[in-house]
Homo-oligomer: A and B are copies of this chain.
Amino acid sequence: MSLLVVGSVALDSIHTPFGETADALGGSAVYFSVAASLLHPVQVVGVIGNDYPVHELDRLAARGIDWSGVERVQGESFRWKGKYSYDLQSRETLETRLGVFADFVPKLPPSARSAEFVFLGNIDPVLQLGVLDQVQRPKLVACDTMNYWIQGKKPELMALLKRVDVLLVNDGEARELSGDWNIHRAGRWILANGPKRVVIKQGEYGALLMEPGRTFYVPAYPLEEVFDPTGAGDCFAGGFMGYLARRGTVTPETMRRAMVYGSAMGSFAVEGFGVRGFDGVDLARIDARVQAFQDLTHVPAAEPLP
């Protein structure tokens, strides 16, 4: 089952209390595919300038990431610079230079048009809709968005929601989109407006999967050391979609397990700067962490109350 992600391929400069990076690999499509490729090959559609360290992408290609759908354009690559607070609870954007990303219009190579699992990273909903016009008959389409589009392109975003199966957002985005501060009502509002399922990420607390009439919760993995939260949400999406593509089926059961794989990938992501949290991560380590997630919420069976 082929897996496609469309999103940003960027260079991030990140400052946390534990160190900093300059022009390191980043962007939603990069984070997504580094995580997803541990479970399933991924095709990436995006754009880079002629200043991008292509050898770094080439190195990652060996994991099963197909970068051939990434356009190379004359100009500067998308750069983001941010600084986190001492407890990593908040961050400040110091600089955003869109570069060639400003004129990005996703064009799917023929091989990507038959993708069965499609993830639309956080880009203009008009472009996300354009991607859906190019794919043939995907089995599952999931998408991300952000406050910027909720505020500036609400009608386009609402049109997109009618065409996706799963919306993945964080709690603040769910609240802003629905206009409701109660996260469970916000989720129900989203379900009433298109997607069959909504995943609401709650950062250090965990993530919710809401379906009509049923909710599933995965807590975040208990980490004593968190180095860099950048990209955790995209890595969650990568684990989620990578698991579903590998299984090839979309059922309530595989969805729940996909949530655990997403959470596992999110937990690896924050353990290192940029995509470095995945250094040395293989299927055995993923399996061990998935097991640990299951132990984390396991409620032992008991006799009925005396």
Binding site for B on A (CB under 8 A): 39, 86-87, 181-185, 188, 202, 204-206, 208, 214-219, 222-226, 246-247, 252-254, 256-257, 260, 283, 287, 293-300, 302, 304-306
Complex: A283 Cα to B305 Cα, angstroms: 9
Whether B219 and A206, one on each chain, are in contact in the complex, defined by CB atoms closer than 8 angstroms, is yes
Complex: A205 Cα to B201 Cα, angstroms: 12
List 11 A-B residue pairs with CB atoms under 8 Å apart, sorted by A's residue number.
A182-B224, A182-B225, A183-B204, A188-B224, A202-B205, A208-B222, A214-B295, A215-B222, A216-B296, A246-B306, A257-B299
Residues of B with C-beta under 8 A to A181: 86-87
Of the residues B222, B260, B300, contact of A257 by C-beta under 8 Å = B300
Whether B208 and A205, one on each chain, are in contact in the complex, defined by CB atoms closer than 8 angstroms, is no
Residues of B with C-beta under 8 A to A295: 214
Whether B217 and A296, one on each chain, are in contact in the complex, defined by CB atoms closer than 8 angstroms, is yes
Whether A219 and B222, one on each chain, are in contact in the complex, defined by CB atoms closer than 8 angstroms, is no
Chain B residue nearest to A185 in the complex (CB) = B224
Complex: A294 Cα to B302 Cα, angstroms: 12
How many identical chains are in the complex?
Answer: 2
Whether A253 and B184, one on each chain, are in contact in the complex, defined by CB atoms closer than 8 angstroms, is no
Quote the shortest CB–CB distance from A200 to chain B (angstroms). 10
Complex: A87 Cα to B179 Cα, angstroms: 12
Whether B297 and A218, one on each chain, are in contact in the complex, defined by CB atoms closer than 8 angstroms, is yes
Residues of B with C-beta under 8 A to A283: 305
Residues of B with C-beta under 8 A to A297: 216-219, 297, 299
Whether A182 and B226, one on each chain, are in contact in the complex, defined by CB atoms closer than 8 angstroms, is yes
Residues of B with C-beta under 8 A to A222: 184, 208, 215, 217
Given contacts A181-B86, A223-B184, A306-B246, contact A300 B205 (CB under 8 A): no
Quote the shortest CB–CB distance from A145 to chain B (angstroms). 22
Residues of B with C-beta under 8 A to A216: 296-298
Whether A217 and B219, one on each chain, are in contact in the complex, defined by CB atoms closer than 8 angstroms, is yes
Complex: A182 Cα to B224 Cα, angstroms: 6
Complex: A219 Cα to B220 Cα, angstroms: 11
Complex: A225 Cα to B183 Cα, angstroms: 10
Whether A246 and B305, one on each chain, are in contact in the complex, defined by CB atoms closer than 8 angstroms, is yes
Whether A300 and B182, one on each chain, are in contact in the complex, defined by CB atoms closer than 8 angstroms, is no
Residues of B with C-beta under 8 A to A302: 253-254, 257
Kindly list the 7 A-B residue pairs having the minimum CB-CB distance in the complex, ordered from nearest.
A297-B297, A217-B219, A253-B300, A205-B205, A87-B181, A184-B222, A215-B222
Complex: A224 Cα to B252 Cα, angstroms: 22
Complex: A17 Cα to B300 Cα, angstroms: 39
Complex: A202 Cα to B283 Cα, angstroms: 32
Whether A39 and B305, one on each chain, are in contact in the complex, defined by CB atoms closer than 8 angstroms, is yes
Given contacts A184-B224, A226-B182, contact A298 B256 (CB under 8 A): yes
